[in-house]
Structure 1
């Protein structure tokens, strides 16, 4: 499912216009993004938890040239599904 399909599904299930559904979806995504950028954990009961993981700068070796290089620090988002979501999947 992509964003367009999500908007269409929400529109049909809640009997609202696609434009209103798109505003809701965008607002939810923007709010989650803002919280993650602020290094906050986002817990959605019954669905799961989004959390920011930080990776430190480290040394690596280029497989092509065997040259030692520095891999810069970065942040990634991790999602852990709730038990309820896991149970629904099985």
Structure 2
């Protein structure tokens, strides 16, 4: 699903015009980004938590050349699914299809 598809689903579920759904989604995403940029955590009970994390500089290996490279420090965003979201996603049908896809990939 891409952003346009998500806007369509939101508009349909909330009974909104697509333009209104797009404005609401854009405002939500902008607010999340601004809050994280300020170093604050966002907790949506039942859905999950967005937080920022500092990653120190480290040495790595370029897989193409096998040469050592320096990876600079940076701030990353992490998301931890809430209990309700995790429970909704963890269903037997999805687990079975994802397991089959992983097994098929291993065989290649």
Q: Aligned-pair distance for 1:59? A: 2.7
- Three-state SS of the structure 1 residue aligned to 2:53 is strand
Count of residue pairs the alignment pairs up: 90
Q: Aligned-pair distance for 1:26? A: 0.1
| Gap regions ≥5 residues in structure 1 | none
Partner of 1:89: 89
| Gap regions ≥5 residues in structure 2 | 91-108
Partner of 1:77: 77
Higher helix content, 1 or 2 = 2
Deviations 1:46-89 (Å, cap 9, x if unpaired)? 10001111111123344555544321101111110011111112
The structure, 1 or 2, with the larger RCO (C-alpha pairs under 8 Å, 6+ apart) is 1
Residues 63 and 6 from structure 1, CA distance in 2 versus in 1: closer, same or farther, beyond 3 angstroms? Answer: closer
- Three-state SS of the structure 2 residue aligned to 1:32 is helix
Residues 83 and 62 from structure 1, CA distance in 2 versus in 1: closer, same or farther, beyond 3 angstroms? Answer: same
Deviations 1:20-65 (Å, cap 9, x if unpaired)? 1000000000000001111111111110001111111123344555
Higher strand content, 1 or 2 = 1
Partner of 2:104: none
Partner of 1:17: 17
Residue 36 in 1 paired to residue 36 in 2? yes
